[in-house]
Structure 1
């Protein structure tokens, strides 16, 4: 597991930082913590088991080898996703932040809702039902089922389509097919195989941490989606991790992980529970991956979307959603001819440093010129944003000085007042200890 992956920044965040990095940072950093938590999640709930099946005994090493040897190229099925990261409701916050930015995009307020990135945060909380279909590296389909709508990502050879039935919007990308000169995420467009939506992808990440700091055992058997499975249990040996245990249900015949459950060290219900409720290992019908934009759908090409993001960010009509001083600075900077392609300003940021090892690895990020995080005063942010921040931020102090810990059930981040960020899947005490030792 790589808890310090959150240190990555986007071009848009870097560009906004060139306008007024110091003041904008105090609003951007807490939202980045939520993004880190979202980036660590997968999908599915506890599935009913009708008795544990009798299977031949197998060692943990043999089961790991069975997973590694699994070469499932075709399958289809239904995945249930349940995530409880201890995050507040994103709905009000998203509406508050995106309302102004949407209006900046032109007619209808685009960024299109069909853009894959717009859907990822929704999977950070609550329960969701997904349908998946895979036919080798060139054809995949993932659909998120909603009450009266459906969102789908379809890769068929060189083409990737993203479709939101609620808004009747489509994003289209055409490049090289995987294995034919192209690559996953070609030109930065997210395809269905790029998203951590299956137990196998999550299990692979967990097994990367299987070293001297990890206990790996086989704990009985289970029935998942009507199939017999072994239960592989992965636990940190180190103290200070927010991860208590990970359980992976592995199909006894194919070696394919069918279910992934992560329980935090604080106990309680699973923080991440992802698994199949139905699965079929036969080849899906070719028509599964066919897609044509419905009549009247608004279609956006992915390269146009990328160009708009880098060149035409514009000065959104913020309408009082931000403090007036910051709103004016953002507008003036964005109207002042700043070249948002020029990322020279990012040179001021130090690269992430790594503290510790294994499950208690902490990423350290230093902001330029010691410009730190100052919590916004009451009334400076929209009510939804204030509620979001106050619900998972704790003031802390120590040898390092003072700062704020923003917490979830899995990923925590300490943002010091002198401009340093410590982030990882570790407890608040572990972050404070690391910050103290770093001085």
Structure 2
């Protein structure tokens, strides 16, 4: 069903619901910042739901988004399947290690000896690639559990009151930390459930996007509406975002992001089973198994940051960027591009960087323009241009859009 482009129909009640929803939305660090770009781009266009199976009452896009914002599911349990395909090159697991390092984790092979294989900041970054099955459970703001099922192994993250436990059965390692205030929820490093992704996509609205209701569906045996989000602008790598919204509770049950280039979804996260009954209290009980190595996260956080020392000038530069308020954003909506200056340190050239320069360059496209020359690194969604003089341009936009942005900045 085509969107009805009429911003005047947006109701004050819907605006209030959206603002309330955004205030409740948790902050997440999203794989390669893709949803951080999308979160600032979504506008509201009313549309009436098409009839479908199941047969549900017609609703407008405003009403459905307001229903999401007002959703207050406190208790649930279920199974989530999440698939992520950014089109990254196969580096034999190196990409997961890089993402782990970016997230601040130090466990795993070759990691800091103070780290832990059960540290959630490292473990949950595995969700940025491949297909994974998760078991999730929640009982109010004080108790949540997420388990990542692996071949003959399982990783669990448990929040019970002030305690947060991470347990990796493969290595028999435990990570423990405490949080202040029993109602404070631990912040996950990456989104893991359809609601996580939907919260990111609905944090902000503007007029660069059409949002419509695209019929109905059944997800995990429950009746749902399909909310369809599409960019109005050309030049974005985002094709569409589809959110299946539970007709009764308003909770997102499935999230699918497809690229403009077509093919398989970049992110597809949905419940295969779900129940809104109160989970058994024992679900959130945890005692470190006998013989398990236990790492106290609070002690690690207070220890000298040896990784920061090893990072040298790069770490100092990143700190400097943070103090300056982060990268500058140019453009608007789906064509937003984040840019910052590394201070003249571009990619090492083949002559200056030896094998490293050639290795990195082999994964990118060499480009030239009024800005000079540089390398564009591409995924199926987020692309980044690194100029030879150290400027970076990144966003969910095409290669040509990045080159034009770099030219315009001259």
Closer/same/farther in 2, CA of residues 312 and 372 from structure 1, 3 Å limit: closer
Closer/same/farther in 2, CA of residues 40 and 133 from structure 1, 3 Å limit: farther
The aligned counterpart of 1:311 is: 305
Q: Deviations over 1:143-175 (max 9, x none)?
A: 000110000100000000001000000110023
User: Residue 314 of structure 1: CA displacement?
Assistant: 9.2
Q: 3-state SS of the aligned residue for 1:56?
A: coil
Aligned length: 360
In the alignment, structure 1 residue 247 sits paired with structure 2 residue 242: yes
The aligned counterpart of 1:138 is: 142
Which residue, out of 101, 120, 123, partners 2:124? 120
User: Residue 59 of structure 1: CA displacement?
Assistant: 1.1
The aligned counterpart of 1:157 is: 161
Q: Deviations over 1:88-119 (max 9, x none)?
A: 2353426987999955634xxx5211111222
Which residue, out of 278, 283, 286, partners 1:288? 283
The aligned counterpart of 1:367 is: 342
- The alignment yields a C-alpha RMSD, in angstroms, of 3.3
Q: 3-state SS of the aligned residue for 2:404?
A: helix
Which residue, out of 195, 200, 215, partners 1:200? 195
Closer/same/farther in 2, CA of residues 381 and 92 from structure 1, 3 Å limit: farther
- TM-score, structure 1 as length reference: 0.74
Which residue, out of 232, 237, 240, partners 2:232? 237
Q: Which has the higher contact order (CA 8 A, sep 6+)?
A: 1
User: Residue 62 of structure 1: CA displacement?
Assistant: 1.0
The aligned counterpart of 2:219 is: 224
* Contact 2:107-2:122 within 8 A present in 1 as well: no
CA distance in 1, matches of 2:229, 2:318: 42
| Larger deviation, residues 150-159 vs 206-215 | 206-215
CA distance in 2, matches of 1:176, 1:236: 40
* Contact 1:33-1:406 within 8 A present in 2 as well: no
In the alignment, structure 1 residue 214 sits paired with structure 2 residue 209: yes
Closer/same/farther in 2, CA of residues 155 and 40 from structure 1, 3 Å limit: farther
Q: Superposed, which structure 2 residues align to 1:54-133 within 5 Å?
A: 54-93=55-94, 102-103=109-110, 105-106=112-113, 111-133=115-137
* Contact 1:60-1:216 within 8 A present in 2 as well: yes
Closer/same/farther in 2, CA of residues 314 and 61 from structure 1, 3 Å limit: closer
* Contact 2:32-2:382 within 8 A present in 1 as well: no
Which residue, out of 397, 400, 404, partners 1:429? 400
Show structure 2 runs of 5+ residues with no match.
1-28, 39-51
The aligned counterpart of 1:28 is: none
Show structure 1 runs of 5+ residues with no match.
1-31, 42-50, 316-329
* Contact 1:88-1:391 within 8 A present in 2 as well: no
CA distance in 2, matches of 1:201, 1:96: 23
Closer/same/farther in 2, CA of residues 293 and 430 from structure 1, 3 Å limit: same
* Contact 1:38-1:120 within 8 A present in 2 as well: no
Q: Deviations over 1:218-274 (max 9, x none)?
A: 111111000010011000101111111000001111111100000001111111100
User: Residue 196 of structure 1: CA displacement?
Assistant: 1.3
User: Residue 37 of structure 1: CA displacement?
Assistant: 5.8
Q: 3-state SS of the aligned residue for 1:277?
A: strand
